[in-house]
Amino acid sequence: MKIESLVSCPDTKARAGQVHTDHGSINTPVFMPVGTAGSVKSLSPVDLIETGSQIILGNTYHLLLRPGMEIMESAGGLHKFMSWGGPILTDSGGYQVFSLGQLNKISEEGVVFQSRLDGSKHKLSPEISMDIQRVLGSDIVMAFDECTAYPATIQQAKTSMQLTHRWEKRSLNYFRSTEPLYGHQQQLFGIVQGSVYPELRKESARVLVDMGFDGYAIGGLSVGEPKEDMYGITDVVTEILPQDQPRYLMGVGKPEDLVEAVNLGVDMFDCVLPTRNARHGIMYTWDGPVSLKAAREKDAHIPLDSECGCYGCQNFTRAYMRHLFKANELLVYRLASIHNIHFYHELMSGMRKATLEGSFSTFKKDFYNRYNLKRAENHR
């Protein structure tokens, strides 16, 4: 998979391009809202389109446990099941097994875990993960990896990385030996691991590039490491990844993380923060996050952000939204999610525009001049 019409910023590593899938093209850099269980929480497909969503993410782990692959296959895949006509990326399920599942056993073969829903036993391996993602029918499939726990010693990180490499090779071989089920093409991305150790990360990037994936992800970051490690490792890895293929930083992040990572040459992102924070009343603005549950908002009969074009800001006041939060009215989870997802997309398209105009470093400076990071510290 190539990143097309690629424009690189002259004085940073920021890139703007396009990725083509059978469900449509994606302008990069791009943020992918997370549709964990076949739904970007509280949002309909129309809402997603209206907020500017180009591609969404689905979680293999959640969909495997519920509704299960039998229903997913009889539905004709995830696009049809959830009535989303745009591109979908699915993860491999590995990360959630480690972070959410009751992991019973890990071996060269793969993992055995218990469902957190009903205690049932399930297996995941490179081959099973590929089969599942064929059934889901995602446009972009992720290789099966082990997300290295943080912190890890360099030896632990190396052992884990080497297992990941063997699993990714099996993912690739098995994926290449199977066919899509629904007539549209699927692409396979490899995942760079190696914890916070630059030498391991370089090795991992080189090994994966040699295998020849359709695109490359940076995994195992935003797991508790210092920000300088997150940015430093991203910098090291994007130096090695091919210029002409998409790069995806998994599970990242806050607005400032997106700005830093685009600055370092990342094209794709996903994160639950905008939707999860929305449900807790934490709203993103160009001035920083705002808590709509705060008492000071109770008679603020003004929009959350008068510059914002989202449905919420165009129609409702902070006072109304605060009231809805206080009354646990379902409408507000949707209005808040629309706003935050819209903000994330505006941020990405602002960075894309700046990159195309060759002014990314000015964009970044302007962002930090205005965005209140102190506020941001209070919200996660």
Which positions are annotated as active-site residues? 91, 270
The residue from 16, 57, 82, 230 that contacts its own copies (CB under 8 A) is 82
Taking CB under 8 A as the binding criterion, the range among 152-160, 225-233, 329-337, 372-380 that sits at the site for its own copies is 329-337
Q: Is 374 near its own copies (CB under 8 A)?
A: no
Q: Which is nearer to its own copies, 315 or 362 (CB)?
A: 315
In 10 A of CB 155, how many CB atoms? 8
The answer to whether the Cα torsion of 343, 270, 375, 280 is positive or negative is positive
Q: Nearest approach, Cβ of 98 to its own copies (angstroms)?
A: 21
Q: Nearest approach, Cβ of 326 to its own copies (angstroms)?
A: 6
What CA–CA distances, in Å, run from 354 to 330, 338, 341? 37, 24, 20
Rounded to an integer, what distance in angstroms lies between the CA atom of residue 304 and that of residue 365?
24
Q: Is 361 near its own copies (CB under 8 A)?
A: no
Q: Is 116 near its own copies (CB under 8 A)?
A: no
The residue from 7, 27, 49, 67 that contacts its own copies (CB under 8 A) is 67
Q: Which helix (H) or strand (E) holds 31?
A: strand 30-32
Q: Nearest approach, Cβ of 252 to its own copies (angstroms)?
A: 24
Q: What's CA 114's distance to the chain center, in Å?
A: 25
Rounded to an integer, what distance in angstroms lies between the CA atom of residue 136 and that of residue 72?
7
Q: Is 330 near its own copies (CB under 8 A)?
A: yes
Q: Nearest approach, Cβ of 323 to its own copies (angstroms)?
A: 5
DSSP 2: P
Q: Strand ranges (DSSP E) for 193-314?
A: 215-218, 247-249, 268-270, 282-283, 290-291
Q: Is 70 near its own copies (CB under 8 A)?
A: yes
Q: Is 20 near its own copies (CB under 8 A)?
A: no
The residue from 10, 24, 76, 151 that contacts its own copies (CB under 8 A) is 76
Question: According to CB under 8 A, which residues from 30 to 49 bind its own copies?
Answer: 37-39, 41-46
Q: Nearest approach, Cβ of 40 to its own copies (angstroms)?
A: 8
The residue from 301, 307, 369, 374 that contacts its own copies (CB under 8 A) is 301
Q: What is the total residue count of the chain? A: 380
Q: Is 342 near its own copies (CB under 8 A)?
A: no
Rounded to an integer, what distance in angstroms lies between the CA atom of residue 59 and that of residue 90?
6
Q: Nearest approach, Cβ of 10 to its own copies (angstroms)?
A: 43
Amino acid found at 288: G
Q: Nearest approach, Cβ of 79 to its own copies (angstroms)?
A: 12
Tell which residue, 208, 355, 199, 379, has the closest CA to residue 289. Answer: 379
Q: Is 295 near its own copies (CB under 8 A)?
A: no
Q: Is 243 near its own copies (CB under 8 A)?
A: no
Q: Which helix (H) or strand (E) holds 357?
A: none
What CA–CA distances, in Å, run from 133 to 64, 91, 125, 130? 10, 8, 12, 5
Peptide bond before 274: cis, by omega within 30 degrees of 0?
A: no
In 10 A of CB 202, how many CB atoms? 17
The site that binds its own copies (CB under 8 A) totals a number of residues, namely: 41
The residue from 99, 120, 315, 362 that contacts its own copies (CB under 8 A) is 315
Site residues, its own copies (CB under 8 A): 37-39, 41-46, 62, 66-67, 70-71, 74-76, 80-83, 298-299, 301, 311, 315-317, 319-320, 323-324, 326-327, 329-335
